[in-house]
Amino acid sequence: MNISGMRVLVAGAGGMLGRAIVARLAARGAADVIALKREECDLREQREVREMLARIRPQVVINCAGTGGGILVNTRRPAEFFYDNLLIGTLLLHESWRAGVGNYMAFICGCCYPDKAPSPLREETLWDGYPQVTSAPYAVAKKVAAVQSEAYRRQYGFHSVVLLLGNLYGPGESFDLTESHVIPAFIRRFHEAVRDNLDEVVLWGSGAPVRDFIFVEDAAEAAVIAMEKYDGPEIINISSGDGIAVRELAALIAELSGYLGRLVWDSSRPDGQAQKVYDVTRMERLLGYRPRVSLREGITKTIEWFRDNYAGASERG
């Protein structure tokens, strides 16, 4: 598919991934891209979704919309996370099919994998157990997109693709400490520790878990490639395939932030899953893509963005 000649709707375009995908589409020469932000349409309301699609008449829909965050906010808002993500995903796919959209893309996340799934995480193991309990309501709601996509493809021939994102990070993410993921949380903590000349920073957990991160620009590029060249029922992991212990990650971010104090680990706080590294064989085979931005380079870019936008970034929820 030559996506540059299509009318493309990017839902959730105000978020980190949505903004990056809009930018990648522009770089591809796409001239008819509608960047739909949260305040412009309540995607939990079927009437609004239906009216929006009838008005815009997109040929392609890329769904980056949803409600999410780190471990802490998942434990505080499980019902909201389940309800919002279930409705947004279900309604937008159904109404896109109903409106005659030609191609649809949705994203699910690494927490959709079973709590005990072996690492590296292979797409075939997605249904081998229940997700990690802390984020299960969010994960189960997102995981429904995979079932719905396959069902609509099988019954209606609907061209729907689902990508599973690793731990996404980059400019534009939330740096609100009550809601953020690990990289933005560390960046903000070390930035403020340098500012306040702190001798030590206390971090959650043991630092032992291993995680696999992908820079948002790499994820956006992979998504656009998938929209251009892939049309199949198989879910595809989109990540780096390289793991790093959270303790090593913290040391790297402290170094890049210029923080020289002590790092203290509060092991009474939850770690989450012990190992979460992704098998990216399918991504390489079906998309011919490997991420290009190293973790050091991506974190450096994210720190620079945060410093330039500190006031707004630290308050964003």
> What mean pLDDT do residues 77-105 have?
97
Summarize pLDDT for 170-212 with one digit per residue, the tens: 999 889 877 778 999 999 999 999 999 999 999 988 999 999 9
- pLDDT computed for residue 317 by the predictor: 35
Closest of 181, 171, 162, 176 to residue 218, by C-alpha: 171
Residue 303 placed within a domain: no
Residue 190 placed within a domain: no
Residue 184 placed within a domain: no
- pLDDT computed for residue 104 by the predictor: 98
Lowest mean pLDDT among 91-105, 122-136, 151-165, 261-275: 261-275
Residue 194 placed within a domain: no
**Between residues 202 and 310, which one has the greater pLDDT?**
202
Instruction: For residue 216, give both structure tokens.
Output: 């948002």
Q: Are 257 and 303 in contact (CB under 8 A)?
A: yes
- pLDDT computed for residue 315 by the predictor: 46
- Environment class of 8 (CB within 10 Å of its CB; exposed 0-12, middle 13-18, buried 19+): buried
Q: Are 16 and 216 in contact (CB under 8 A)?
A: yes
Residue 137 placed within a domain: yes
Alpha-carbon radius of gyration of the chain: 19
Distance between CA atoms of residues 121 and 224, nearest Å: 23
Q: Is the pLDDT of residue 316 over 70?
A: no
Lowest mean pLDDT among 4-8, 35-39, 158-162, 292-296: 4-8
Residue 114 placed within a domain: yes
- What share of the chain in percent tops pLDDT 90? 82
Summarize pLDDT for 32-90 with one digit per residue, the tens: 999 999 999 999 999 999 999 999 999 999 999 998 887 777 788 999 999 999 999 99
> What is the amino acid identity at position 117?
A
Answer whether the bond into residue 120 is a cis peptide, omega within 30°: yes
- pLDDT computed for residue 47 by the predictor: 98
Average pLDDT, the chain: 93
Distance between CA atoms of residues 263 and 271, nearest Å: 16
Summarize pLDDT for 208-246 with one digit per residue, the tens: 999 999 999 999 999 999 999 999 999 999 999 999 999
Summarize pLDDT for 276-290 with one digit per residue, the tens: 999 999 999 999 999
Q: Are 306 and 184 in contact (CB under 8 A)?
A: yes
Residue 311 placed within a domain: no
Tokens 């490639």, residue? 225
Q: Are 267 and 136 in contact (CB under 8 A)?
A: no
Active-site residue 310, yes or no? no
> What mean pLDDT do residues 250-262 have?
97
Q: CB pairs under 8 A, 24+ apart, for 195-198?
A: 198/261
Instruction: For residue 248, give both structure tokens.
Output: 């090593």
Distance between CA atoms of residues 260 and 315, nearest Å: 25
Distance between CA atoms of residues 206 and 221, nearest Å: 34
- pLDDT computed for residue 311 by the predictor: 67
- Environment class of 102 (CB within 10 Å of its CB; exposed 0-12, middle 13-18, buried 19+): middle
pLDDT-derived band at 267 (thresholds 50, 70, 90) equals confident
How many domains is the chain partitioned into structurally?
Answer: 1
Range of the structural domain that residue 117 is part of = 3-173+213-241+276-291
* Contacts for 281 with CB less than 8 Å, ≥ 6 apart: none
For the domain that residue 66 is a member of, what is the CATH number? 3.40.50.720
CB-CB neighbours of 286 under 10 Å:
15
Question: Pick the catalytic residue: 104, 113, 138, 278?
Answer: 138
Residue 231 placed within a domain: yes
